[in-house]
A and B are shown apart, each in its own frame.
Chain A
Amino acid sequence: MNGKALSFYINDKMFGLDIKLVKEISRRFEYSHVPDSNANIVGLMNLRGQVVTLFNLGSILGLTKDNEEKVSNTACIILKAHHNNPNHVGFLIDRPGDVLDIESEWCEKTPANVEEINTEMIREVVKLEDELLLILDSDKVFRF
């Protein structure tokens, strides 16, 4: 990708998302769990009258390892509604990171040996100076 990406942390791992997809980051959020729903759904949240489905991105990505430790979610990221999907979605994060300028020459497809997480959900890997940023493919992540 080329442009700005928002980075954030889930289970202490850094991920990124094209900032154009992000509607807002909410630090004060309340949600209600929905019984009998998909295990990846945390619950529903009321965002100024809009119902937002909140996901547990960690479990979708298969980051189950650290789950036993108590993970404190301090914020959630809400995505813009897609024009052909009126449902608002959001997900919990440990904490937001930065807004980063990304240039396309830093990007690469996911290396073949990444096993820890579901690779098809990673759009590309960005080689930042001192670490790697995994850019998520939101279409694949929130596909049900």
Chain B
Amino acid sequence: MIQNEEFINEFVEEAQSHLEMIEAGLLKMEEGSSDIDNINNIFRSIHSIKGTAGFFGLEKIVELAHVMENLLGEVRNGKIAPNSNMVDHLLTGNDQLKSMVGDVFNSNAEDVSEHVDIFSALLNQEAIPEKQTEKISDPMPGIDHQMFDLKDDEKLKRQIDEARKHGHNLYKVSIGINKDLGDQNLSPIKFFKKIQSVGEIVDSFIDISQVKGLDNVMQSDVIFTFVFTTVLERKLLPIALDIQEENFEVLETYEKETKTADTEEVIVSPDSAEEDEEADKDISSDHSENTTKPVETSAKKEPVATVEDSIRVHVTLLNDLLNLASEMVLGRNQLLRNIEDHRKEINGLDAILQNIDRITTELQEKIMQTRMQPVGNVFNKMPRVIRDLSKKLGKEVDLDIEGSHVELDKSIIESLSDPLTHLIRNAVDHGLETPNKRKSAGKPTPGKVMLKAYHEGGSVYIDIIDDGAGIDPERIRKKGLEKNVVTEEELKQMSEQDILQLLMKPGFSTAEKITDVSGRGVGMDVVKTNIEKLGGTIEIKTVLGEGTTFRMILPLTLAIIPSLIVEVENYKFALPQVNLQEMVRIKAGDESKKIEYVHNAQVLRLRGKLLPIVHLGEVLGLEHKETGLAISTSEITRILVLKVGSRRFGLVVDRIYDEEEILVKPLPVYFKSCQCYSGVTIMGDGKTAMILDPDGIINKASLRFTEEQTQQNQRDDLASEEEMRELQNILLFKCSGEETFAIDLSLVSRVEEILPSQVETIGNQEFIQHRGEALRVIRPENYLPVTKKDNSQADKLYVIIPKLVANPIGLIIEKIHDTVMTTIKLNKEDIKGKGLIGSTILNNRIVLLINIYELFEMVSPEDYEDSALKNQHHDLTILLAEDTPFFARLTKNYLEWAGYNVILKGNGKEALDVLYEKSVDLVLSDIQMPVMDGLELARQIRKNPDLAGLPLVALTSMTGEKDRKAGMEAGFDFYEFKLDKITILEVLQKAIRIRRDAV
């Protein structure tokens, strides 16, 4: 009965998405959701599977879906209350459907009678008594229908009457599936939808009277009959449905027809269903489709003509579009170049070019977006995995999902399912302890597994966190030796991370005994390879007794990455920005920064540490060691500091161009032996360029990193607080000198454009008129250790008016570069100076962060020298918990200015650790922090009787009343806005005083 593979595939795809929905819905139901929409959705999905499966004669699917639908129908009508047992069975049924849909051509050979029995039994338990006997005696679905038919007839009549009242006509269309639809290359489903778009189907059935047996389906024809109502006139119908006049007839009433149709079939099915032909059973199952459909539609009065808001497009088409779009960008660039000289001559050309420019860019972005899908598509499968596991293993598990909305390229999403499932399984099976063990470890019995997706530095991170026993490196060591995965010698060389990575080696399994859950041949090594295939990496973090985190770091998209264009020996290369940490420029003869030699190897002293140096040209065989030396003696050496995992090295290139978003194309197979490349791209000038692979360069240059070095680097990373997540809104600007400055936008009240002539000089101070008042303005370059030009030619200026300062002073600047949302990583080697917080690199530029308080204090010390705020004795210690380096340094700075000793910690957990060891006089804490946030910190402190009297002040940018309330409830004494220096100092004094008084 299977007509056409293409149609079947369409059915399979559709059914699979329905099955996903059913599963999600069932899980919701189990959690106690009695949401009627949810149940309706489940019902609708299963119904729709049954309906379409019927068209294809997939009788076993129909049979199973039918009994499930019946049960769900009763649940929907409130006749049966769902319980865990029932959901269990429904889920198993759903799984069975899944596997049958997955192997649709063999589905008819599956035996579903067991499921059918179960569902029938479930249905009977609470069904109306008189039917019970009947049903127990014969749970065949065929019989069920008749019972349903009786009920449906009434509804049918009512539906038709209702439609007639609204001026609908009643039609009956008969379509030969091979003859009519086959010619049009239209699947029955599509035709079904077509009718639904113009009217409402009241009944449909299949006439297979022409079909003599299964074998001659293709020769003879299957007639679909639809009875439906529509407002369309007789004349318009053939046009609307694209059918012949002879295919349909106008009906006056329908009851009689149904009766005849029904009786015919009803007569047929009991007679032959038991006896012989499968085809006959088919009628009965198909028939169920016909009769239950109206129940649904009439009962819910759904709008039937739904507008499709999505269509399926083949990925190759999208890829082609993407290629063409990038070609168009090239075309645009060429056009711009050629027309450059004539731009002025033609009126309005500029605007048009700009418009084309914008549209092309947007086009490319949109096409990229079509490939993006929320990671939730994969995450949604996990609750089910957890549920089954927790039942099987007898472990209670709470699953938290965060960041389902984070989007990734389709190809990545698709390949993510298996590794993720495996890691989840692993977390529950190996990670979490048994309930008994948890109890004795003082943990809550339900284990916690967290699935978290978030953006971080151009990648997407997916964390799988469990609060289980953690991984004991000692055990991995032992196991590794036992299984011959690693030798004693090698172990000695390995860092802890390396040892943890052993978990991912083929042939390694830590579970003492292999359960059927995790140890099923698919090992962690497969997970690792899968992730690496996607261009991602996987990291393991574990604390013995507290849990394990598996972190997948994935590229946002495989297609477009930000990169830096560099040149060596006239060859241009693209270097992925992900790996770029900083750029160092060395002038010949500069003794403070130079390349030195350890034997033959070149190294650079960078902030007191030695960085191995690799010449790109040399690695690629473009220059030889001898000539390489000659080059390094040239005027300037440009070194890119790259980081791969925890390995760092410097790469010497000849020239550095701009940053470019490049479209990554896979490396042709013919270059697989070249280690240094990871792909190809086409650049703005239409030429190809190779994309460098820093990992490959490390291998090619045979750089060997020792354990200590990598560990050192890792520690550095921790120290530099790479973990921070808070985004800051930064305003980038320039004064008369060359330097780029930055100020946090939360410190800025407004920025005004002024003319240089508006600045008036009174005495040696400058003022402007602002809102009818004189506002003192200063030029930051006069106070900061930076360059300045005395006679600036700028024809307009800007004034930054700060907020939250007692005596505002405007900053005169010359140019606004940009505002960026970013996380700031302050450079460790400071460009020190009064009035500056530090420096960072943004958009490949060194940016100086202005400390506005210090600057103002330099400008008018008299206003800021408020000794009342200072703690004269220098005997008070404040514990400051703040994760954003920018604010941390700013706050620490003025706390120290006020005479307090400051202990700075990056999160609540670290702060808490300090409290156990040291005594402090006050805790000043940010609210949003990684690991442990401020609220939790406050709760923990208040819980501890030793610390109960400690004054707690929250310092935050979340100033909503709700936030404040949450803060106060958590145990904070004061809740202050982050940037208001004076108020904070006052509050600190107050808080300390109150405490003293209390003591």
Contacts and interface: CB of A to CB of B under 8 A. Distances in A.
Interface of A: 30-38, 41, 43-46, 48-51, 53, 85-89, 142, 144
B674 A87 contact: no
29 contacts: A32-B689, A34-B671, A34-B674, A34-B677, A34-B690, A35-B620, A35-B622, A36-B619, A36-B620, A36-B621, A37-B671, A41-B671, A43-B688, A45-B688, A46-B687, A46-B688, A48-B323, A49-B324, A49-B326, A49-B327, A51-B668, A51-B682, A51-B688, A53-B668, A85-B669, A87-B668, A87-B669, A144-B669, A144-B670
Nearest to A53: B668
Contacts of A50: 323
B897 interface: no
Which 9 pairs of residues, A with B, have the shortest CB-CB distance?
A49-B323, A44-B688, A35-B620, A49-B327, A87-B668, A36-B620, A53-B668, A51-B680, A46-B682
Contacts of A46: 682, 686-688
Given A44-B680, A46-B687, A35 B621 contact: yes
Contacts of B688: 31-32, 43-46, 51
Interface in B310-335: 323-324, 326-327, 330
B890 interface: no
- Interface residues of B: mostly helix, strand, loop or mixed? mixed
B616 to A, nearest CB: 9
Interface in B541-589: 569, 571
Given A36-B621, A45-B688, A51-B680, 13 more contacts: A30-B687, A31-B688, A32-B689, A37-B670, A38-B673, A41-B671, A46-B682, A46-B687, A46-B688, A49-B682, A51-B688, A87-B668, A88-B668
A43 B674 CA distance: 13
Nearest to B688: A44
A64 B434 CA distance: 72
B798 to A, nearest CB: 42
Contact of B670 (A32, A36, A45, A87): A87
Contacts of B677: 34
B567 to A, nearest CB: 12
B682 A36 contact: no
Interface residues of B, number: 28
A87 B669 CA distance: 7
B318 to A, nearest CB: 14
B748 to A, nearest CB: 44
B670 A53 contact: yes
B665 interface: yes
Contacts, number: 68
Contacts of B984: none
Contacts of B682: 46, 49, 51
Contacts of B689: 32
Nearest to A36: B620
B671 A51 contact: no
Interface of B: 323-324, 326-327, 330, 569, 571, 619-622, 665-666, 668-671, 673-674, 676-677, 680, 682, 686-690
Contacts of A89: 668, 670
A41 B670 contact: yes
Contacts of A53: 668, 670-671
A33 B569 CA distance: 12
Contacts of B665: 51
Contacts of A51: 665, 668, 680, 682, 688
B159 to A, nearest CB: 52
Nearest to A45: B688
A43 B326 CA distance: 21
B324 A38 contact: no
Contacts of B323: 48-50
Contacts of A85: 669
Nearest to B327: A49
Please indicate which of the listed interface residues B324, B686, B688 has the most CB atoms of chain A within 10 Å of its own CB: B688
Contacts of B327: 48-49
A45 B688 CA distance: 6
A36 B669 contact: no
A44 B680 CA distance: 9
Contacts of B676: 36
Please indicate which of the listed interface residues A34, A35, A46 has the most CB atoms of chain B within 10 Å of its own CB: A35
Nearest to A48: B327
B317 to A, nearest CB: 14
A51 B679 CA distance: 11
Contacts of B687: 30, 32, 46
Contacts of B571: 32-33, 35
Contacts of B666: 86
A30 B674 CA distance: 22
A139 to B, nearest CB: 14
Contacts of B569: 35
Contacts of A41: 670-671
Nearest to B663: A49
Nearest to A50: B323
A35 to B, nearest CB: 4
A50 B686 CA distance: 11
A51 B663 CA distance: 12
Contacts of A36: 619-621, 674, 676
A46 B334 CA distance: 15
A29 to B, nearest CB: 11
Contacts of B620: 35-36
A30 B670 contact: no
Contacts of B680: 44, 51
Contacts of A32: 571, 687-689
A98 B571 CA distance: 37
A31 B620 CA distance: 19
Given A49-B324, A53-B668, A87-B669, A30 B621 contact: no
A41 B690 CA distance: 14
Nearest to A30: B687
A45 B213 CA distance: 59
A31 B622 CA distance: 18
Please indicate which of the listed interface residues A41, A46, A87, A88 has the most CB atoms of chain B within 10 Å of its own CB: A46
B130 to A, nearest CB: 64
Nearest to B679: A51
A45 B671 CA distance: 14
A37 to B, nearest CB: 5
B22 to A, nearest CB: 37
A49 B571 CA distance: 20
A86 B441 CA distance: 56
Contacts of A49: 323-324, 326-327, 330, 682
A129 to B, nearest CB: 38
Contacts of A86: 666
Nearest to B682: A46
A50 B444 CA distance: 57
Please indicate which of the listed interface residues B323, B668, B674 has the most CB atoms of chain A within 10 Å of its own CB: B668
A144 B677 CA distance: 17
B668 A30 contact: no
Contacts of B330: 49
Contacts of A142: 670
B918 to A, nearest CB: 57
B699 to A, nearest CB: 13
A46 B668 CA distance: 13
B625 to A, nearest CB: 16
